[in-house]
Structures are given as C-alpha cells and as structure tokens.
Amino acid sequence: MTRSARDKVVKSANPPAPSRAFPTQPGLWAVVGFKQAGLVGGAILLVVVVLVGLLMFQPWRGSAETIALGDKGDGFASDRDPPAGGTPVPFDSRRAMGYLEELCKIGPRISGSEGMKKQQEWIEKHFTDLGCKVAYQRFTARQKSVRKPVDMANMIVAYHPERTRRVILCSHYDTRPIADQEENPRRWREPFVSANDGGSGVALLMELAQHMKDLKTDVGVDFVFFDGEEYVHERDDDYFFGSKHFAREYASVRRKIDYRGAILLDMVPARALAFRSSRTPGCGPGDCARRCGASRRS
C-alpha cells in the first residue's frame, strides 16, 4: 500500500495510521462469482445497497492508492457517486461514520486482545438490538512467529436462516499488530485504530443492518466478520485464519447450504481508492474463486 492509502484516522483519534509492508493479498472470500445471474435478484439489490454512498472497488486487486478529487463532504465514503438505476435503500453515511468513530474509540482490536473482546460485545449488542441473532464460529490459530496459539472467532449474522441458497457480505474485523509501513520504524509498535483497514467494513455492515428487515430478497444473507485475517507480525507470517476456517466449516455442510456469491468489504471509506492487480502468485481472482469451489464471471 502506498503511503497515501494508509488509514484515515477519525478526528477523535490521532495515532499513527496502519499500513502494509508485507505482501498484500486478497482474502479467501474476496471474489466469488454468482453461479446463476437470474437466481439472486434480491442479492443484486443488496449490492446496490452496499454501493450507496460509495463506488465499490474490485476486491481482488492488490495494492491501493488514492487519487485526489474534489471534496464532496465528510460522510462515510462521501466521494462516491450513487449507482445508476434501481431504487437503493437510503444509506445514512453519517450514521455509518458514527459507528466507525465509536469503533475507533475502543482502540486496537488485535485478535485475542481485550480490544477485540470489547469490539465483539459491541457488535453483538448492535445486531441483537435490531432483532438479529449473532453466532460465533470459534477456533484457535497459531501464527508462525508467535509462540502461543490465539483464540479467535468469526461472527455470523444470518438473515432468513431457513433458506438454503445464500450470499455472503463480509469483512475482517481484526486490526494489524504493527503499523508496518509507518515511515519511522520506531513507531511501528505504537497503538493505532485501523479506521479504514479493519474498521470501515464493520461500520458499513452495521449501517446496512438498519435496512435488512425491509429488503426483499430470494436468498438468505449472511453478514460474516472474519477474525485473524491480518494477525501478521513478520514478513513470512500467514494470513486469513478466519476466512480459511470459515471455508473449512462450509465444506462440511455444502449439501445443506449453497452459497451463490460473496462480496468482501474492506477499506471502503478512503477517497478515490484505486487497486492495482496483485502480482502475488496464486492470488488472482480466478485462484480465489477456485479455492471457494465457485465459478467466476467477469
């Protein structure tokens, strides 16, 4: 990630912003093509809702940079143009920004930390107050550079859980242990709040939850918050503990649940965010789709 793409920390906090020195790779569920275009009319509307207030980027792209544009306001992803066509559900960008600010007040939310626990409790309360049921997919992961294993948990909010055909809207909600592209290496270990990378996707899904009960769809919808996606301390460490665990669990119930598509939400409020294609072997869109056992459509 270039320096200009580092997290835009909310005004209420001003620690060093997180960024990436390690290889940037797309999450396991970043690209999953819809198997049948006609079957997910409701899911298409979901995509429209997600696009309100922001222009969805192509999530399989690798590194990121921002492009200077005219100021269109201070709302959540306020520089995006609304999508053409359709009738999108009203998306309250200021309320989404409020969620992000509250999230950042927790501080760092590293996997297995007290900050992560507080975040889980806050997210769970938000969705239960809206009448949703939150499920935890708990597991233990061991990072190569860390001696002790870490307890982690994906969070899943299911809408229409009785439906077999489903789609996923997901984001990781863990924050990086170090700010690895901070110019001054002495500041890498200082706390930072990951407003953009690790926070924005959570805030977007929290706002979207306000409209789910009125959204008509032919498929079930799962909001999935992945833990341990960026629990990275050294250059050769592993990524994507949460999404890999989710994929393994899904493989055991594929006859009961049929996921037709997924959209990964990450780094969504950055102004004019652009992604360059990843050159990391095995991390292109086709590679991700094959891992998920799904076909990809461009």
Beta bridge pairs of residue 154: 137
Residue 297 lies in a domain: no
Hey, what are 160's tokens?
């229409």
Of 136, 119, 139, give the one whose Cα is nearest residue 244: 139
Residue 298 is assigned to a structural domain of this protein: no
Q: What span, in angstroms and rounded, lies between the C-alpha atoms of 171 and 9?
A: 18
- Report, in angstroms and rounded to the nearest whole number, the Rg of the chain calculated over CA atoms: 18
In a domain, 262, yes or no: yes
Is residue 264 in a domain?
Answer: yes
Whether residue 40 lies inside any domain: the answer is: yes
In a domain, 19, yes or no: no
pTM of the model: 0.69
Helix (H, G, I), strand (E, B) or coil at 65: strand
Q: How many domains does the chain have?
A: 1
**Domain region containing 284:** 3-14+24-291
Query: 3-class DSSP state for residue 213?
Result: helix
pLDDT, tens digit only, all 298 positions of the chain: 434 444 433 333 333 333 333 333 333 333 333 333 333 344 334 444 444 333 333 333 334 444 344 455 555 555 556 555 556 777 888 999 999 999 999 999 999 999 999 999 999 999 999 999 999 999 999 898 888 999 999 999 999 999 999 999 999 999 998 888 788 989 988 888 889 889 999 999 999 999 998 888 899 999 999 998 988 888 888 889 999 999 999 988 877 889 999 999 988 876 777 766 555 555 555 555 555 444 333 3
Tell whether 296 is covered by a domain. no
d(CA 137, CA 20): 27
Give the up-direction half-sphere exposure of residue 10: CA atoms within 13 A in the CB hemisphere: 26
What is residue 108's DSSP assignment?
A: -
Pairing mode, if any, of strands 258-264 and 165-172? parallel
Q: Interior CA angle at 57 toward 56 and 58, to 5°?
A: 125
| Structure letter (DSSP) for residue 46 | H
What pLDDT is stored for residue 22 in this prediction? 33
Is position 184 within any domain? yes
β-pairing, 134-141 with 150-159?
antiparallel
Please give the helix or strand (H or E) that residue 273 lies within, else none.
strand 273-277
Helices (H), 1-92: 41-51
Count CA atoms closer than 13 A to 201's CA, side-chain side. Answer: 24
Q: Looking at residue 75, which CATH number applies to its domain?
A: 3.40.630.10
